[in-house]
């Protein structure tokens, strides 16, 4: 079936690359549409137009709308993990979180929108597939955070006592996710206020002492 005389490896590799690029194009468009219209209000036609292709073509790359949502959750996990990694390295947790807050408030498309994050979590309540993906994603994310808390300072961690790790991760994560809601519900909240608040209460979470 392959053209005789040419190695099959190269064309198929090229095709796979193109397919991957198309998937990416669709996901970017979908994320944008979901942010603007919401999961259910965003139509496939909408996504297709944003991606600059016909609606039917999307089904060559995704099984359906739900499949797109699932893929977006995975994207989100990767982004979130990258963000966490950035927080570690910067060792300026307050500044890092404040920046994320600011991006949420500005609806910065370079990170996952706060609204999308909320809607996605709500949807996990109803769609079992989304629930599974969300829970798995969340578990990995928590493990990342926990490992950072538990590692010794010499290894770039915080050296938090083991029996304290889960508790502090819980508080930190709640605080961050709560700020996602604040970014939406309290639009006149300034980054400075957030920084002030975090400066005051984060330190007690990050000390090595019990």
**Which range, of 8-16, 21-29, 61-69, 196-204, touches a copy of itself by CB under 8 A?**
196-204
Q: Which does 166 bind (CB under 5 to 8 A by kind): a copy of itself, DNA, none?
A: a copy of itself
x/- track of binding to a copy of itself for residues 73-102 (CB under 8 A)? ------------------------------
Q: Which does 142 bind (CB under 5 to 8 A by kind): a copy of itself, DNA, none?
A: a copy of itself
Q: Is 164 exposed, middle or buried (0-12, 13-18, 19+ CB in 10 A)?
A: middle
In the complex, least distance from residue 125 CB atom to DNA, rounded to whole angstroms: 17
9 binds DNA (CB under 7 A): no
In the complex, least distance from residue 55 CB atom to a copy of itself, rounded to whole angstroms: 12
Is-contact 164 146, C-beta < 8 A?
A: no
49 binds a copy of itself (CB under 8 A): no
66 binds DNA (CB under 7 A): yes
Is-contact 117 100, C-beta < 8 A?
A: no
Q: Which does 128 bind (CB under 5 to 8 A by kind): DNA, a copy of itself, none?
A: none
d(CA 187, CA 176): 16
d(CA 168, CA 102): 23
CA angle, residues 90, 93, 99, in degrees to nearest 5: 90
Q: Is 97 exposed, middle or buried (0-12, 13-18, 19+ CB in 10 A)?
A: buried
Contacts with DNA by CB under 7 A lie at 1-3, 15, 18-19, 22, 41-46, 53-57, 59-60, 64-66
């Amino acid at each position: 079936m392959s053209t005789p005389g040419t190695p099959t490896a190269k064309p198929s590799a090229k095709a796979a690359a193109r397919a991957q690029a198309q998937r990416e194009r669709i996901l970017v468009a979908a994320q944008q549409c979901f942010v603007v219209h919401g999961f259910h209000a965003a139509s496939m036609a909408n996504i297709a137009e944003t991606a600059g292709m016909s609606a039917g073509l999307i089904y060559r790359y995704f099984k359906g709308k739900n499949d797109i949502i699932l893929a977006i959750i995975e994207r989100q996990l990767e982004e979130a993990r990258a963000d966490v990694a950035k927080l570690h390295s910067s060792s300026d947790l307050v500044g890092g979180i404040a920046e994320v807050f600011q991006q949420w408030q500005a609806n910065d498309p370079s990170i996952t929108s706060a609204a999308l994050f909320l809607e996605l979590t709500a949807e996990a309540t109803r769609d079992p597939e989304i629930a599974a993906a969300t829970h798995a994603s969340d578990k990995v994310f928590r493990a990342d955070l926990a490992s950072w808390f538990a590692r010794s300072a010499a290894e770039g961690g915080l050296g938090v006592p083991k029996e304290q790790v889960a508790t502090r991760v819980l508080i930190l994560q709640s605080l961050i996710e709560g700020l996602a809601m604040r970014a939406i519900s309290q639009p006149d909240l300034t980054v400075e206020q957030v920084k002030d608040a975090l400066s005051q209460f984060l330190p007690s979470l990050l000390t090595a002492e019990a």
